[in-house]
Structure 1
Amino acid sequence: MGGRVEVRANFSDANKSPEDDNQYQDASRVRLNIGGEQKLNEDISFIGFTEFELKENSDPAGDDVSMNTRYLYAGMQSQRFGALTYGHQDNAFTYLTNFTDMAQVYSGYINEYNVATSDRANGVLRYAYSADKLTIQASVQGDSDSDGTAVTQNADGFGVIAAYKLTETLEFGLGYAQTDANNSGSDVDSTGDNNTYTAALKYTNEGVYLAATYEGGSIARFSNDESDFNAADAYAGYTFGDNNVNMTYNYFNADENSFNNLNVNMVAVEYSRYFGNATAYAAYNFNLLSDSDAASESQTEDELMVGLKYAF
């Protein structure tokens, strides 16, 4: 059993509305998980894991807690043959996108617009194999919803990745994912195709951590609403003693203006201080997105996030 309690405060003009002129917004959350493993023999075991995230509901007329399923999966794993799991879990693509998704706050934005590349989705069957320096993963989705932005929901698709450790400090990976696309979530509406290919590189040496990810392909809401896109994600961090400083870069740009609400262009700096199970941090996001590439003014605002996380 495990989890964390994380209290966070966000300050940005993007939090303002016609009814509320306050820059401040609470972003606190709680995550609770439980997992288990039972050995069948010396090599094969059964596994199961689930995790939920809880937040205070901003609607005073409803329940005061909103809950989201982050993980809910089970399967089998073998030291020789890898692991096969099914449920609400990471996609195969997540192994590569985690190279750069290392900051407490502002990292890992570019892969959330495709069900097969998002960090988590339901209805996922995933196979993962690692041996020596090689990692191979493949996942398929059936009528799946992702935890990211709802560009495509109730989608069918697949993703495959391969990564290789060139040295003890340097790892390189390639991946491809494809899903049908339907913004309405209805099987009777027309579908387009989401195609995403990626290349990722990670370097770690003592306290230095450097990583970069590139993504490209096509994104769609329906068969007649599609666009090509390019995206990049980078992380540069240094850990010394109980401290970490890092800088991140997130960039996503779709060619068609109808997808401007998805565009991202930002640089963030962050400092974290570790106190055993507790982590205090502050991060500032410099938003570089131009008005012409954004769908709304709030999409171009800077942000400040401060937080305290206790893991147990």
Structure 2
Amino acid sequence: MKMAAIATAITTALVSGSALAAEVYNSDGTSLSVGGRAEFRGDFQGTADGNELGGTMDNKSRFRLNLGGETQITNDLKGIAFYEAEQTVNNSGSNDQNPTFKQRYMYAGLATGGNTVSFGKQDAATVQISQMSDTISTHSGIQKTYIEAGDEQINNAINYAGYFMDALSVKASLLASNEANQDGYALSAIYNTPIGLGVGLGYAANDNAGTKQDGKQFLGGLNYRLDGLYLGLTYTQGEGSKKAAGNNDFNSIEFVGQYRFQNNFEVVVGYQKGEIDPDGGSKFSVSDYAELTGIYYFNSAIRAYATYKFNNLKADDGQTFKVDGVTPQDADNSLRLGLRYDF
């Protein structure tokens, strides 16, 4: 892939949350695109987090809408902007409504060649590492949730993204907090070899004022693509108090394997296990499950899927798993049925 095409791909990814986003306006070098998704997600047997399901279905449906803007400043320089929000279902009653859209992304930036600088609410630089395995349908991507500076959709972020040698993706981000002693940063790189193997490394750190522990995180990832096959593996370890109070070490591993057949049916298998090791306490799991998913793509815009999650969290696993935070009990498995339309 030539550098000009890569630069266009990077800019498109930054200003479009959907590969199907439609250009609705283009005049004098300025364009506007609209995209998003409507997705029914129903959990049966148990909830996705392992709690017992009292009724028949836990409705986790959602709707996302995004707007992407681009303007040509000179032959080599563009201005970009992106906004995305999500609305979910109020699941407390059959006729209850949720009028609230939750802001996910909101940023603006400048792009030239294979380089982009952007400012606003956006993903930390290390998220490109966690995305190497973040394709499981229910709770994948835990690697990005351990510390603030390594998370997605963070406020006050100043980001740089660059692509080099037709193979190397480099990202850096600064979390410029409005609170004293809470700034952070993240660095990452992914190198894609000619044989389809990708290798990624990342590091993130942030200060935490008050009683929270300062966060530090290392991430590593591998992925491999060959025709309809995709494999992804990520590992993270570090220190942080975002997921549990106190001074904690953490580690987590996540694996995903996908194969898409020529008849548009895809099989996805995944595994994830994350552990917290608190200072002066017993190690416990924050996630431990395997998943099996079948997806059928009717076309590029709409798909149906079924996922079964084998949840291995136990009532006696260090930090007791409690149903609704009260009753100790082994986590329930869950079955998710979904229908997703991208636009």
Q: TM-score range by the shorter chain?
A: 0.7 to 0.9
Aligned to 1:96, the other structure's residue is in SS state helix
Q: Which residue pairs with 1:166 in the alignment? A: 193
**Worse-superposed segment, 297-306 or 243-252:** 297-306
Gaps of 5+ in 2: 1-33, 324-329
CA distance in 2, matches of 1:23, 1:259: 34
Taking the TM superposition and a 5 Å limit, the aligned residue runs for 1:21-170 are 21-58=54-91, 64-80=98-114, 82-131=115-164, 132-143=166-177, 155-170=182-197
CA contact (8 A) 1:122 1:144 kept: no
In 2, Cα distance between equivalents of 1:121 and 1:12: 34
Aligned partners of 2:212 and 2:246 also within 8 Å: no
Q: 1:106 touches 1:285 (CA, 8 Å); kept in 2?
A: no
Post-superposition Cα deviations, 1:156-191, rounded to whole Å, max 9, x if no partner, equal 21110122123340110111101123xxxxx6x334
After superposition, give the CA deviation of every residue in 1:219-249 in whole Å (9 maximum; x if it has no partner): 2259x81111111011111011211101011
Task: Please say if residues 220 and 227 of structure 1, whose CA atoms lie closer than 8 Å, have aligned partners that are also in contact.
Answer: yes
Paired residue secondary structure (2:241): strand
Distance, in Å, in 2 between the alignment partners of 1:287 and 1:191 is 29
- Runs of 4+ that moved beyond 4 A: 14-18, 59-63, 257-260
- Kindly state the Cα deviation for residue 106 of structure 1 after the two structures are TM-superposed: 4.0
Alignment RMSD (CA, Å): 2.7
Contact 1:121-1:144 within 8 A present in 2 as well: no
CA contact (8 A) 1:139 1:158 kept: yes
| Equivalent position amino acid for 2:322 in 1 | E
What TM-score, normalized to structure 2? 0.79
CA contact 1:212–1:235 (8 Å) conserved in 2 = yes
Shift of 1:62: 8.3
Tell me the equivalent position of 2:269: 247
Percent identity of paired positions between Structure 1 and Structure 2:
29
Structure-2 change in CA distance of 1:14 and 1:106 (3 Å): closer
Query: Computing the radius of gyration over CA atoms, which structure comes out larger, 1 or 2?
Result: 2
Change (3 A) 1:4 1:199: same
C-alpha separation in 1, matches of 2:254 and 2:163: 25
SS at match of 1:111: helix
Q: TM-score, normalised by structure 1?
A: 0.86
Q: Conserved in 2, the CA contact under 8 Å of 1:234 and 1:248?
A: yes
The answer on whether the counterparts of 1:106 and 1:248 sit within 8 Å (CA) in structure 2 is no
The structure carrying a bigger strand percent of its residues is 1
With over 3 angstroms needed to count, the CA separation of the structure-2 counterparts of 1:259 and 1:225, relative to structure 1, is farther
Displacement of 1:23 in angstroms is: 4.9
Asked whether the equivalents of residues 67 and 84 of structure 2 are also in contact (C-alpha less than 8 Å), the reply is yes
Q: Which residue identity lines up with residue 311 of structure 2 in the other structure?
A: N
Q: Distance in 1 between matches of 2:203 and 2:99?
A: 37
The equivalent residue for 1:270 is 293
Q: SS of 2:144's equivalent?
A: coil
Matches within 5 A, 1:192-203: 192-203=213-224
* Cα distance in 2 for residues equivalent to 1:167 and 1:294: 45
* Runs of 5+ consecutive residues of structure 1 not aligned to the other structure: 146-153, 182-186
Measure the CA separation in 2 of the matches of 1:62 and 1:143. Answer: 36
Aligned equivalents of 1:102, 1:116: Cα separation in 2: 21
